[in-house]
């Protein structure tokens, strides 16, 4: 499969705005450059938490549908839990929990 | 200075894993390779019937979903290539009806079309199609399904007694990041379904 250079477009856009935010933030002394690596680790923790939430949501959703089918005899497709919104909602769950933990300190 | 918190370290490792999967899925051909691998080698040979399994049904206004449409178009193409005298169109009731209408519109005679409606799962589809075809000794089928669905679909159809010739739809898949992410999600879903079928004895 030939490499499609259009794949780079979102990466280039993200790179440009990230560098811009870094320059503006550090020049205006809003951001501390020395905290960047620590922040990256925090973000990875949040992503890890989102993965945990996603797996949990998938497990609860699938089990719930199977139990519902068994109890009521009505058919609900398990495919409904594979909707693209679930990973996004799981990430929001993780963000809320992390921010909540920080505020609770 | 405190030690490393094992929970936070574990979450960070999980985050790295998630990020790597995301990057590999969106920006590399990994999902496309998996797609092609799952499709296997097509065997487009003479058969007793062409079986087009349902996929995604139709919208509320009766328009077939993308995948459902691609499958039925491939089935019609195989019929036109005179690979089988019968075209079996499965899916939800509306999906099978919309497919039959399309097939007739594209020149497939009504007498060659067999509609299998109201099936909710692949296992139910297989049972219904077996009840229709096996009593007529139509055992050798060209099976039309998406590449990622082919391993489970083939196993289910063989389980009820068919000899399956795989005829997957296009096997490379999308190349844009969004499409690749969706493809990897569908592959994961399909692998989970395959595991479920094996655990519950449907295969």
pLDDT at B2: 62
Kindly state whether A76 is in contact with chain B, defined as any CB-CB distance less than 8 angstroms.
no
Identity of the residue in B18, B177, B186 whose CB atom sits nearest the CB atom of A10: B177
Same domain (yes/no): A12, A54? no
Same domain (yes/no): A39, A26? no
Please answer yes or no on whether B27 and A41 come within 8 Å at the CB atom: no
Q: Interface pTM (ipTM) of the complex? A: 0.86
* B87-89 and B113-115 beta bridge pairing: parallel
Number of domains in chain A: 2
Identity of the residue in B11, B120, B182 whose CB atom sits nearest the CB atom of A45: B11
Please answer yes or no on whether B14 and A43 come within 8 Å at the CB atom: no
Same domain (yes/no): A39, A14? no
pLDDT at B65: 87
Q: Does pLDDT of B1 surpass 70? A: no
- Closest CA–CA distance from residue B11 to any residue of chain A (Å): 4
Chain A residue whose CA is closest to B30: A1
Kindly state whether B174 is in contact with chain A, defined as any CB-CB distance less than 8 angstroms.
no
Same domain (yes/no): A74, A25? no
Same domain (yes/no): A21, A53? no
Same domain (yes/no): A27, A39? no
Please answer yes or no on whether B12 and A49 come within 8 Å at the CB atom: no
What mean pLDDT comes out for the span A10-15?
A: 94
pLDDT at B143: 98
* B140-144 and B87-89 beta bridge pairing: unpaired
d(CA B100, CA B64): 11
What mean pLDDT comes out for the span B24-50?
A: 94
Each residue's pLDDT tens digit, B101-130: 999 999 999 999 999 977 788 899 999 999
Which 3-state string (H, E, C) describes B51-103?
EECCCCCECCCCCECHHHHHHHHHHHHHHHCCCCCCEEECCCHHHHHHHHHHH
Same domain (yes/no): A62, A83? yes
- Closest CA–CA distance from residue A28 to any residue of chain B (Å): 30
Same domain (yes/no): A11, A41? no
Confidence of residue A2 (pLDDT cuts 50, 70, 90): confident
User: Within 10 Å of residue A78's Cβ, how many Cβ atoms?
Assistant: 17
B161 vs B2: which has the higher pLDDT:
B161
State the count of interchain CB pairs (< 8 A) between A and B.
Answer: 60
Which domain range does residue A6 map to? 1-31
Same domain (yes/no): A50, A82? yes
Each residue's pLDDT tens digit, A64-99: 999 999 999 998 888 889 888 999 999 999 999 999
What mean pLDDT comes out for the span B134-148?
A: 96
Identity of the residue in A10, A48, A82 whose CB atom sits nearest the CB atom of B14: A48
- Closest CA–CA distance from residue A49 to any residue of chain B (Å): 6
Same domain (yes/no): A25, A52? no
Identity of the residue in A4, A11, A46 whose CB atom sits nearest the CB atom of B175: A4
Percent share of chain B, pLDDT over 70: 99
């Amino acid at each position: 499969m030939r490499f499609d250079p259009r794949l780079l477009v979102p990466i280039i856009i993200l790179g440009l705005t990230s560098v811009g935010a870094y320059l503006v933030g550090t020049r205006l002394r809003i951001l501390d450059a020395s905290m960047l690596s620590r922040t990256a680790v925090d973000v990875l923790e949040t992503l890890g938490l989102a993965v945990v939430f996603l797996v949990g949501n998938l497990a609860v959703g699938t089990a719930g549908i199977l139990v519902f089918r068994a109890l009521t005899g009505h058919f609900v497709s398990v495919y409904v839990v594979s909707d693209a919104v679930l990973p996004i909602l799981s990430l929001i769950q993780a963000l809320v929990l992390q921010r909540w933990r920080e505020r609770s300190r | 200075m405190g030690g490393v918190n094992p929970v936070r370290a574990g979450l960070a490792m999980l985050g790295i894993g998630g990020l790597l999967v995301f990057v590999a899925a969106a920006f590399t051909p990994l999902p496309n390779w998996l797609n092609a691998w799952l499709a296997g080698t097509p065997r487009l040979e003479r058969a007793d019937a062409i079986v087009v399994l349902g996929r995604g049904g139709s919208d509320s206004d009766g328009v077939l979903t993308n995948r459902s449409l691609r499958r039925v178009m491939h089935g019609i193409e195989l019929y036109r290539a005179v690979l089988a005298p019968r075209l079996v169109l499965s899916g939800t009731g509306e999906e099978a009806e919309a497919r039959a209408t399309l097939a007739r519109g594209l020149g497939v005679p009504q007498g060659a079309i067999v509609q299998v409606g109201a099936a909710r799962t692949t296992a139910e589809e297989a049972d219904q199609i077996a009840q229709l075809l096996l009593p007529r000794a139509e055992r050798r089928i060209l099976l039309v399904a998406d590449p990622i669905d082919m391993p489970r679909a083939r196993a289910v159809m063989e389980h009820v007694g068919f000899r399956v010739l795989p005829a997957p739809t296009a096997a490379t898949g999308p190349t844009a990041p969004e499409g690749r992410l969706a493809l990897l999600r569908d592959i994961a879903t399909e692998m989970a379904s395959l595991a479920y079928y094996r655990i519950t004895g449907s295969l």
